[in-house]
A and B are shown apart, each in its own frame.
Chain A
Amino acid sequence: MRHIITLYLLLLGAWTLWSGLSWPWGEHFEPLVAVMGVLSTALVVFLAWRMDLVDAEGAPVQLTTFRTVAYIPWLAWEIVKANIDVARRILDPRLPISPNMIEVSASQSSEIGRVVYANSITLTPGTVSVIVEETTITVHALTREAGEAVETGDMDRRVTRLEGSD
């Protein structure tokens, strides 16, 4: 139920934004359009529910915690650092790269936690998650340093903390 309500409110918010802020106190408010928006959003949620998509994966409310808010700036800073490093190597005439494949452990208990971890690895330039398995992720790293940075497990611990007790 929690997931259904979250999904409905999220979709209603998105609909309101894209229809040009047509809420009752806005300047473009049309009662007919607003009712259609409410109904069509409900229809979409109903279809998603019938397709069995509304669960902890389809509407991950368990990730909306303070820890996630704290994780995003850390990830953004990691991405900026990695970007500068990879850009420097690409523009270097000698092309100082040393591609390698490593296997790192993923200690997340839920599937969505592993997805967040694998996507965080891929989002950081210099490392791409190639094969995701139950407890390990095979990572292709552009440089030895990038591979070692993932192997320290810092990001892994942070994502596991993100999952919380849920």
Chain B
Amino acid sequence: MFAAAMIAILTTMALALFRAALGPTVFDRVMAMNSFGTSTVLFIAVLGFLNGRPDFLDLALVYALINFIATIAVLKYFKYGDLAETGRRDPSEDTAS
């Protein structure tokens, strides 16, 4: 049964990769990589159970956090072209958030 879930998650990852390759905008690619990362977390978790080694869950936990930070970092890079930018509100720019 874990194997069935594994196949489904692998299918999800493959489809997300297709979307990342197709684009067309850069945001589609970022979104696809975010979904790919979420599926990777699930993949690692299920893999741990499939092998009878739930220790893998620590990796999944760290991956879940890194996935989020990576998404935000890539977005920030595309927004400012510089990761060191503080991103404080600038009245001349529409960044109401």
Contact = CB atoms under 8 A, between A and B. Distances in A.
Bound together: yes
A133 interface: yes
B58 A132 contact: no
A44 to B, nearest CB: 15
Interface in B50-97: 58, 96-97
A18 B96 contact: no
A133 B58 contact: no
Contacts, number: 6
A17 to B, nearest CB: 10
Contacts of B96: 131-133
Nearest to B95: A131
A132 to B, nearest CB: 6
Interface residues of A, number: 4
A18 B65 CA distance: 15
Interface in A127-157: 131-133
A133 B97 CA distance: 6
Contacts of B58: 18
Nearest to B58: A18
A18 B62 CA distance: 12
Nearest to A18: B58
Interface string A8-21: 00000000001000
A133 B95 CA distance: 10
Contacts of A133: 96
Contacts of B97: 131-132
Interface of B: 58, 96-97
6 contacts: A18-B58, A131-B96, A131-B97, A132-B96, A132-B97, A133-B96
Question: Which 6 A-B residue pairs are closest in the complex by CB-CB distance?
Answer: A133-B96, A132-B97, A131-B96, A18-B58, A132-B96, A131-B97
